[in-house]
Amino acid sequence: MFDVARIRADFPALSCPVRGKSLVFLDSAASSQKPFPVLEAMERIYRQCYANVHRGIYAFSEEATLAYENARERVASFIHAPRREEIVFTRNTTEAINLVAYSWGRTNIRPGDRILLTQMEHHSNIVPWQLLAQEKGAELVYLPITDDGLLRMDLLDSLLDERVKLVAITMMSNVLGTINPVKEIVRKARAMGAVVLVDAAQSVPHMPVDVQDLDCDFLAFSGHKMCGPTGIGVLYGKASLLEAMPPFLGGGDMIRRVEWDSATWNDLPWKFEAGTPAFVEAIGLGAAVDYLSGIGMEKIAAHEREVTAYAMERLSALEGLTVIGPPAHQRGGVVAFTFRRIHPHDVAHMLDMEGIAVRAGHHCAQPLHRRLGLTATVRASFYIYNSPDEVDRLAQALEHIGQMLG
């Protein structure tokens, strides 16, 4: 049995009342809450052995360095990366994608090349490629979606030709919840000689992810969406590609030797980690990985499927509420919806008065919303600490809002 009550006890923020009511936190797709083991791991470094990593020949620095590199090892194991050197710490998913666009993209993309995206991408997986395409004279093409939020896989072969040098795709949509057939897309892209980047910001926290099984070239995700702290993210890249890429940033720790007019670069992964890294945050992410692994990613995915299916059934029964996206069995723990003619911001504000935290707006996916004929949606997202009872509170609050506004 998935013991939600036991898990909730690990998250101190969830016991804090909001507007005199117990908190129902339904915005983990934006950023998750943090459990005691993560908070304690970071506090221990700050209290007991804080010192800059890689640079000190004394006990504090050596202990912090060991903890930092052990976190890298645990992250590599979590996503089944073959080598720890293939794990580059970044600030977040956005920076990881920008690193690939800047370093790999500016080295390999030529005029007339194509970059294939999908219509459900987050801005972080659109704008960096727009900038690259404008600079290099390349072209962006988009794999369309159906009206119910699934990729038009029947059109993939016609778009994925020899001109496509990169495919950048989300594994799970942050709006639709759609879980995409990434492994199939990677296989087809590989056959055409294209490199594949996977935006895994919404998948790594919620389901087992194996980069070797996917066979993707790059994969990016953020710590703050998976019980870890802000300011730390991960870029996985195949070592052969990372070795051939120029540095993203210049400065300390990414160099082997500096002359007056030249420099040589450090080994992987430090070639891409210029300056003092967010090592305390990385240690926090390592603790988050241990925490999630202790629960079991298969169990987490199954729990979220159960809560999401119940939420879709419960919310779809409300008069005037329209759920956006595919059926429950084809999505993760995200349910975006519109409610009558009430603006999503107003819905979110009124839910907040009931102690219920949801997201409202375009969720950094304006092109997707325009494709669906919408300007904004309300989004409830679920995680390990959410329960069907909280779905009931959400539904009851929406019913009350509907009655109050007629």
pLDDT cut 90: percent of the chain above it: 98
- Cβ(149)–Cβ(324) below 8 Å: yes
d(CA 88, CA 67): 16
What was the pLDDT predicted at 55? Answer: 81
Q: What is the mean pLDDT of residues 248-256?
A: 93
d(CA 59, CA 88): 25
Which pTM was predicted? Answer: 0.97
d(CA 378, CA 118): 22
Q: DSSP 3-state assignment of 126?
A: coil
What was the pLDDT predicted at 83? Answer: 97
1 has pLDDT over 90: no
Q: What is the pLDDT of residues 141-185, one digit of tens each?
A: 999 999 999 999 999 999 999 999 999 999 999 999 999 999 999
- Residue in 182, 230, 219, 165 with CA at minimum distance from that of residue 33: 230
**Which are the catalytic amino acids?**
364
Q: What is the pLDDT of residues 325-384, one digit of tens each?
A: 999 999 999 999 999 999 999 999 999 999 999 999 999 999 999 999 999 999 999 999
233 has pLDDT over 80: yes
CA dihedral sign of residues 299, 303, 304, 308: positive
Here the tokens at position 39 are 């908070």
What was the pLDDT predicted at 146? Answer: 98
pLDDT cut 70: percent of the chain above it: 100
What are the residue ranges of helices labelled H in 137-267? 156-159, 182-191, 211-214, 239-244
Q: What is the pLDDT of residues 308-327, one digit of tens each?
A: 999 999 999 999 999 999 99
Report the chain's mean pLDDT, rounded to a whole number: 97
What was the pLDDT predicted at 229? Answer: 98
| Adjacent-strand bridge partners of 336 | 324, 379
Q: What is the mean pLDDT of residues 2-6?
A: 95
- Cβ(114)–Cβ(140) below 8 Å: yes
**Inter-CA distances, 351 with 355, 360, 380, 396, Å:** 7, 11, 11, 10
What was the pLDDT predicted at 405? Answer: 87
Look-up: residue for tokens 């975006």? 336
Q: What is the pLDDT of residues 50-85, one digit of tens each?
A: 999 998 899 999 999 999 999 999 999 999 999 999
What was the pLDDT predicted at 259? Answer: 95
- Cβ(152)–Cβ(143) below 8 Å: yes
406 has pLDDT over 80: no
Distance spanning both ends of the chain, measured CA to CA? 41
Domains in the chain with CATH codes:
4-26+296-405 (3.90.1150.10), 39-294 (3.40.640.10)
What was the pLDDT predicted at 185? Answer: 98
- Cβ(300)–Cβ(384) below 8 Å: yes
| Adjacent-strand bridge partners of 142 | 117
